[in-house]
Amino acid sequence: MSTHDWQKSSYCQEGDACLHVAATAETVHLTESSDSTGVILSAQPDAFAALLRALKPNH
């Protein structure tokens, strides 16, 4: 993977369908196991938190 300090999602099972997250104070980066060479999403922490809130049921 790249120079980011990637963490594998706790919801990941075996295989290539895993989400990896790397975060700094300024940016949250997401990538997937099947293509660990590139970031598929980068967002400011506040924007990423808003995305997660919007995706969660009953919010």
Which amino acid is it at 58? N
- Residue 20's CB: how many other CB atoms inside 10 A? 19
**Residue 46 is assigned to a structural domain of this protein:** yes
- CA–CA dist 42, 33 (Å, integer): 16
Residue 50 lies in a domain: yes
Residue scoring higher pLDDT (28 or 15) = 28
Residue 23 lies in domain: 7-55
Q: Is the pLDDT of residue 26 over 90?
A: yes
The pLDDT of residue 45 is 94
Residue pair 33/17 in contact by the 8 Å Cβ criterion: yes
pLDDT value of position 44 = 96
Q: What is the pTM of this model?
A: 0.70
Q: What is the DSSP letter of 35?
A: B
Q: 16 lies in a domain?
A: yes
Assess if residue 1 is contained within a domain. no
Asked whether residue 2 is assigned to any structural domain, the reply reads: no
DSSP state of 4: S
Number of domains in the chain: 1
